[in-house]
Structure 1
Amino acid sequence: MGEVAARAGGFVPEVVWAAGVPSSAADTVAAARVLASRVDLLLFAGGDGTARDVLEAVGDSVPVLGIPTGVKMHSAVFAVNPRAAGEVAAGYSRLRDAEVVDRVDGSPRLFGYLRVPDVPARVQQRKIGSSGVSPEAVSGIAAELRSMVMPGELLVLGPGTTTRAIAAVWGLDVPALGVNVIDGEKVVAADVGADELLELVSGAAAHIVLTPIGGQGFLLGRGNQQLSPEVLRAVGLEWLHVVASEAKVVALGGRPLLVDTGDDSLDRAFPRYVRVVTGWRRTILYPLNERQS
């Protein structure tokens, strides 16, 4: 529940709830209830399931903010990265009601609302499910990618229904939730892990294809930890391609695309704008990782 990590960081924490081993959702609910009357802002680390536990515990009695831990999250109660959580906690002036959403039986379900700081550039939006990409757009994106890749070069496809649809255009079946590696007309590795992926791309010519999470804009750091900083450096950021339907880009409402690799120096190395491939010979120049001064 955080005591060990806090002590390891040199802090002397006050333990308000003695959790079981291992801790459970009931421990999260109990600890949040104890803290609700003692704090001005309740910070928690976890994903959508933890957000549900916090909602059950505190409702709208105290503002909250989630610290993201790397999983793909549907709820709109999380900062865009841990550093942003600290920046928001240090000072905010307004609150808003934010959705708590979790997947149940494979589909997102709204469980309620938590009050969170209203800092749009630092607190993520709710994930918007895919409405599908038109066959014409998918075919165009697939053709554009093929024109960028030379024979013998590897193509690393990030997770997503868009990237899976692109692979299908090439006659390949890959899982939508994994990272997959393609060489020409064959799948070299499906649902590959970080270590195997690093081995495949090290010393090889490779490209990485990513599609942003709908409504949130995350390219890296949410549900694709296989694309580690080591893998990204081995491939080179100049060989990273972003693909999306025009509708997905419009749904961002001008908010920037985001990366959260866990490596601050690598995050800063990304360009301020990236080209988003939306079809054959069709690209949009879009802001990436907009920072506040």
Structure 2
Amino acid sequence: MTLKTVGPVLLVGAGKMGGAMLSGWLDRGLPGERIIVRDPAPGPEIAALIAKHGIRTAIGEPPAIVVLAVKPQIMDVVLAGIAADIPAGALVVSVAAGKTLAGIARHLTPGTPIVRTIPNTPAAIGRGITVCVAGPGVSARQRAEATALLEAGGEVAWIDDEGLMDAVTAVSGSGPAYVFLLAECLAAAGAEQGIPPDLAARLARVTVSGAGELLHRSDLDPATLRHNVTSPGGTTAAALDILMGEGGLGRLMREAVAAATRRGRELAG
């Protein structure tokens, strides 16, 4: 299905996340002439896309949608610089972690419709998930347009309570790092048992990615998949006795997600 919007889309920031979104939009058929990219130093790949697809870098026709894909640390400065270019009624979509609807709104014309989102890095390959919350004044059409743009990076979910966004960030936003750490630790543990490090790293990478793909494709829940690979009294059961014991992975993950949630609230002020 070809991606369409009611007007031009202004992408502010074309780093890793912004660049991934731009690539996804183009892959889904959004015409380059309907896109404006504002980035002071786009990388070579983004510069090539801009040239190839005739993407504008200066605002002519006012944008209907503004996607803010800059780091949260510079969001206030960026918004102060572009607020005058955002017309009344344009939808503003933020992908910056920790920046609240109110924190974004204070830079904009009162009543500007805003959607706050939390994507994650697998969006770069179209396998991410983005959680969204809409501010006051976001119409059903604007919500649908935001969904269509964000689906270029994978699945989209909506929540009504903005207070959950810090916990969402701790689970799905930061979650890929937890999985990468699992692969690191699994490879290191294999090497300690005598497996050559290169092979241990390969075993861990393919095992983690393959298990993730199986989970993605299966209709079974994670607990059932775990039971299916665990023979009573076998090697997997011996390992799980450690991982699921007191002080094991369950407790560590709860503490990790709680710590990330607290930090998100601190960053939001």
Q: TM-score, normalised by structure 2?
A: 0.32
If you compute each CA radius of gyration, which structure gives the higher value, 1 or 2?
2
Q: TM-score, normalised by structure 1?
A: 0.30
Structure number with the higher helix fraction is 2
